[in-house]
Every structure is written in C-alpha cells, then in structure tokens.
Chains A and B, each alone.
Chain A
Amino acid sequence: MSEPILKLENVVKSFGRNEVLRGVDLDVAPGQSLVVIGGSGSGKSVMLKNALGLMTPDSGKVFFDGQDVTQSTGKPREMMRSRVGMLFQSGALFDSLTVWENVAFRLIHKERLKRSDAKERAIATLKKVRLGSEVAGLYPAEISGGMQKRVSLARSIISEPDLIFFDEPTTGLDPITADAINDLILEQVRELGAAAVSITHDMPSARKIADEIAMLFEGKIIWRGKASDVEHSGNEYVDQFVHGRASGPIQPAM
C-alpha cells in the first residue's frame, strides 16, 4: 500500500468532561474513497475538523502526505490546505458573495488570479457540477439547497485538490437530488484522482461513494472494511447501524 495521504494516529479530543474522540486511528491512501459512518453525536464532525486542522487534538497525531501537521500553523498549514478541498454539511457558502465569487474564492484571494480569469474558471467548474452560467451571478440565498451543495462541491474541486472531505454531503436533500450529488462526487473525485473522506449516516450514499467504510462509535473506529462487506461485517454494531434497527447494542440518540 502506498504512503497514506491522510493518517490519524490515536487522536483524542475532549470538550470539558465530554470525551468525543478516544483514540481514533485512520488512514486514507491516495485516490481512495473512505466513508466514515456513525450515529448522531458519535464524533464524526469533530474527527473531520481535527483532520483539517480546524481543531487541535488533545493528544495523538495527524499526518498529511507523511508530514506531521498536528500543531502546524502558518505556511505548512497553508500548504496542506492548498491541497485539500472541503464540502461542508451546510454548504457554508459566503452569503455576501455571488455563486461564482464563492467558487473562485481561493483563486482570487490566494492564487491572485485576475477576476475575469477566475470567473471563467468558476463557470467552467460550475458546468462540471451541472450548473449553468446563469446561476453564476446569483447569491446563495437565491438558489435551492441542492444547488448550494453543487456550488459547494464546485468550490471544493476548483483548485484540483489531492484530498477532499465531504461532511454529510446528502443531508437535507431529497433522495433523487442526494443521488445526483453522490454521482457528482464519484465523477469528480475519479476525474481528479483525489482521495476522499466522507462522513455520513446516509447508508445509500455510503454504499455508493465508498471504496471502504469505517464505523466510528463512542470515539473509536470499531470496524473498517470494503464497502461491499458492510452488509455482512460480522460486527453487531455495524449490523444494527447499517440496517437501521432501534434495538441492539447502540442506544438511539434521544
């Protein structure tokens, strides 16, 4: 197996007395699509934020392309982020900017491209996610939730990253739009040859976009295997989650 592009080593994160991550070990190879499943409040988003450097682990290490980036700031952090894309659960589009300005944000503000050139690239990237140039001048509040997800996807792929994080990419979407988003994720990740780490509790989405699936439970990865093996994992926690049963070892979050 080649050197992982992302590796989490015994990552621990607590908020006060609430231990959210209790020693997460995870690695993702270049070009691999890993989906992390887990119930609400299992620490999936916290794990993602630690991997991205939006939070710092209490202990443990995060490696990006072999470099320890756990505590890195400044240039090393910027170098990492220039190779990473992120699709947020809420889309997280800047509501004071138009759609194309959102998509081209990094090109304008980091790569210092001329606005006209950046707009051209933004419109080309919007086409990749099946959005026409007519939406480019609209504001996020003027487009639907599904379109916002596509715009966010376009923003995450425009600088051709090596690793893309997807935080609940299909949450809040109807099944048809969710499937369309899954198709776009698959298509774009394959086209870029990027690795992808997605977190979700949407099993149809997980089955569709994952090469491998890992399950996070009570702050630890309790199972990992091929996506095709998830239905017969032999793990009672995974079985309960995958089949959506209220009864079993996992207590529903009520």
Chain B
Amino acid sequence: MSNVSTHKSGFPNPLRWIGAGVLGTFAEIGRLSTFAGRMAFAAVTPRWFFGQIWRQMIQIGFYSFPVVGMSAVFIGAALALNIYSGGSRFGAEQFVPNIVVLGITRELGAVITGLMLAGRVSAGISAEIGAMRVTEQIDALETLSASPFRYLYAPRLLAAIISLPILVAASDIIGVMGGWLVSVFSLDFDSATYLRNTLDFVTTDDIIVGLTKAVVFGAVIAIMGCYQGDRSQAGATGVGRAATLSMVGAAVLVLATNYIMSNLFAELGL
C-alpha cells in the first residue's frame, strides 16, 4: 500500500489519495485478470484431477441444494403475491403465472442462486484456500511439483460452472412451484390453468438465458473464492478477511455481470 503524502501543513494531499486509489484499483483488476486467466487455462488444458472435480461438485452443488431450493420457493411465492396485488390495480391478475415463470427463469432463479452461492461457496472456497495458504500447504504443493492452479483452483472452477446450471434449473422449477403453491392455495387460481399458462408462456430462450447466466456466475464465484484465498494474509484475521472480500466481491460481480448479460441478451433478441 502506498503511503499518502501530506502537504507541508500536515493535511493529506487529496490528489495523491485519488491517484493512489485509481492505481490500486487498476493493479487489483490486473492481478485478478491474470489469476482468472491462469485458472481458465488450467481448466481447459490437461491434466485434469477428476477426483477433485467430483469432490468439489458435491461440495458446491449437492450441499448447496437445500439453501437454493428454500430460497427459490420463497422467492417464487413472494413474486406471485406481489404480481397479484400489483396486477389487481389494473385488472392484470391473470398474468401471475406468466410473469412468475418469466421472472424466475430469466432472472431470479439464476441471480438468487448466484447470490446464495456467493455467500456459501465463494466464502467457503476462500476460507479453505486461505487456510491452506497460511499453513504453507500451497507452498508444499508447489515443492511436490503440483500446480495449485491445476490441483486446487481449476477443479473448483470446473465444478462451479457445471454445478451452477444444474442448481439454477432446479431453482427455476422450485421457484415456479412456489408461485403455483401460493396462487392455487391462497389466491384461488385453478391449478391446471396455472400450469398450462406457465408451460405455454415460457420459451427455450428464457431457459437458455438463465442457464447461461448460471455458467458465468459459477465462474465468478469460483474465481473470487480462489483469488482471495490465494492472497490471504497470515492468521485467522487474514483468512476471515479473505472470506469476506470474496463473498462481497462475488455478490457484486454476480449482479454486475447479470446486468451486462441481460443487456447483451436483449441486444441479441433473446
């Protein structure tokens, strides 16, 4: 960290502060990009550690299923209630199934799953890698001629980009079912009509949009977790800080990439 100089009067020089901040931000982006590039290269070139990939898929995908499922059912239910009460102002209550399925498949299924996993998975990866960094296990890997990028980071990246679309697909189904539950049992919708409207309205493009976002969110979550863990400073505070930074960074990047991709898909007419 650069030292911020002061005027002769002893007050901090604001231009130096701004300059140091801008340079620091660019340096951080450069480090993160280089790290992500190395992770991606290790993920797409042999050798692959299939045992590690499988283990990470269980950690990232299977163990996240309960939290993703519970989030989806409540989001779907709340969405149905809000659309119903908002739509009733201009007699559009009948569009609840259409808007629920559209909102869940194109946006909320992927974003909610991404945010939940930014907390559960990215912070977990970061804490695990950070603990390995501070206990010299990553140095030990290197001395044993094993690249941490191949053995630790690439399996997490691959597992995340395989698991996220599966989780989002499940989240889509559960979210729609959440909306259906509220609509049928609380808002007096006919069950068969609700489901028919849902299936008639949703398109393959809507599902592809959500699943494509999931792949990108998976990459973001794994990269942030590994990056912050790898840079972890010594001690419990350092590991804790890395976990916090990875969680916050992944959550912000999930939302930012979601906006960018939504724009892109709109441009492409999807």
Contact = CB atoms under 8 A, between A and B. Distances in A.
Contacts of B142: 53-54, 81
Contacts of A106: 144-146
B145 A54 contact: no
Nearest to A81: B145
Nearest to A49: B139
A86 B140 contact: yes
A88 B139 contact: yes
Interface stretch (A28-36, A89-97, A171-179): A89-97
B143 A109 contact: no
Q: Is the interface of B mostly helix, strand, loop or mixed?
A: helix
A68 interface: no
Interface string A147-187: 00000000100000000000000000000000000000000
Contacts of B144: 81, 105-106, 109-110, 155
A81 B132 CA distance: 20
A103 to B, nearest CB: 11
A89 B136 contact: yes
A16 B141 CA distance: 27
Interface residues of B, number: 14
Chain A contact patch, size range: 20 to 34
Contacts of A82: 145
A106 B151 CA distance: 12
A166 to B, nearest CB: 12
Contacts of A105: 144, 146
Contacts of B139: 49, 54, 88, 92
Interface string A75-105: 0001001101110111011110000000001
A135 B135 CA distance: 22
Interface string B141-158: 111111000010000000
B203 interface: no
Nearest to B143: A86
A93 B144 CA distance: 12
A96 to B, nearest CB: 8
- Please indicate which of the listed interface residues B135, B143, B146 has the most CB atoms of chain A within 10 Å of its own CB: B143
- Please indicate which of the listed interface residues A52, A78, A89, A109 has the most CB atoms of chain B within 10 Å of its own CB: A109
Contacts of A84: 143
Nearest to B136: A92
Contacts of A78: 145
Contact of B140 (A53, A92, A109, A110): A92
B23 to A, nearest CB: 15
Interface in A42-93: 49, 52-54, 78, 81-82, 84-86, 88-90, 92-93
Nearest to A79: B145
Nearest to B141: A94
B80 to A, nearest CB: 43
A88 B136 CA distance: 7
A81 B143 contact: yes
A105 B49 CA distance: 13
B127 to A, nearest CB: 13
Nearest to A158: B144
A92 B145 contact: no
B88 interface: no
Contacts of B135: 90, 92
Interface string B10-39: 000000000000000000000000000000
A95 B131 CA distance: 10
Nearest to B137: A92
Contacts of B137: 92-95
A53 B139 CA distance: 10
A88 B143 CA distance: 10
A4 B137 CA distance: 29
Nearest to A17: B3
A135 B225 CA distance: 33
Given A109-B144, A155-B144, 17 more contacts: A49-B139, A54-B142, A81-B145, A86-B140, A86-B143, A88-B136, A89-B136, A90-B135, A92-B139, A93-B140, A94-B141, A95-B137, A105-B144, A109-B49, A109-B145, A109-B146, A110-B145
Interface of B: 49, 132, 135-137, 139-146, 151
17 contacts: A54-B139, A81-B143, A81-B144, A82-B145, A85-B143, A86-B140, A86-B143, A89-B136, A92-B136, A92-B137, A92-B139, A94-B132, A94-B137, A94-B140, A105-B144, A109-B145, A109-B151
